[in-house]
Amino acid sequence: MEESEEAVRTGLSLGMRLIDTAEIYQNGNSEQAFGRLIAGQREQVFVVTKVDAPNATSEQSIRNSCERSLRYLGTDYIDLYLLHWPVADLPPVVNAFEALKAEGLIRNWGVSNFDVRLMEELYAIPGGKNCAANQVRYSLVDRSAEAVGLVDWAARKRLPLMAYSPLGSGGGVKTLLQTPAVIEVAAKHGVSASTVAIAWTMRSGSVISIPATGRAKYMSENARAAELTLDKADLAKLDGAFPARHIPSRGFPAR
């Protein structure tokens, strides 16, 4: 935990201002750790946290989770409150989020791991179009969000996507960072392979990348991605190495 907290402090010193956590991360310890780290500089950070699906079964249960997260984070408002995973009954979720927003306990609300079908279902609910973001898994090694049409759908709706695991996950991370195309683009720009991969997720300007690292030494590489502009040749090389295809998963199941 100490190393992770040092990584966050380094990120803040580099101007990285988005804090992403969730009530289920380390059973609430993650929120509490972030609360300690942002104390005294709350107005300088943008806090994102999430209500777990089992706690999103009613308006009251969502309120209970939100109030607990506020206590753990040591703040009186959350900038963006997300539904962590889809639930069967969405209207109570929207109603709860809208009520919390009206009371000033949250500034915005959104969802996570929603595909196009679920987004259409959400938008059909009164108040559903007030959704401010959809956080999904997205990287060069897993372009399912593109393959299933979500990236294009979100662009048409002007809905920001937040890309988690922008370097992939598991063995995919090593595959990505050792791919010749990524290494060549990185060498061209004088940056690391991870910087290139993160910058790629943000190439459209409508995707916010949220790389996770528990080590301070990688924070500067993450931060540089926001300053890197990939040209057409770079994008063509990367797209050729990692074509968009659907990888069935919990977030993007086979249809």
Q: Which residues are annotated as a binding site for substrate?
A: 84
Catalytic residue among 25, 72, 77, 218: 25
- Other C-beta atoms closer than 10 Å to the C-beta of 216 total 18
Active-site annotation holds for 25: yes
Q: How far apart are CA 180 and CA 149, in angstroms?
A: 28
Radius of gyration for the alpha carbons in the chain, expressed in angstroms and rounded: 18
Per-residue burial over 15-31, b = 16 or more CB atoms within 10 Å of its CB, e = otherwise: ebeebbbbbbbeebebb
Number of continuous H segments (helices) and E segments (strands) in the chain: 12, 7
**Burial class of residue 186 in the structure, from the number of CB atoms within 10 Å of its CB (0-12 exposed, 13-18 middle, 19+ buried):** buried
Residue 98: burial class (beta carbons within 10 Å; 0-12, 13-18, 19+) = middle
The residues assigned a catalytic role are 25
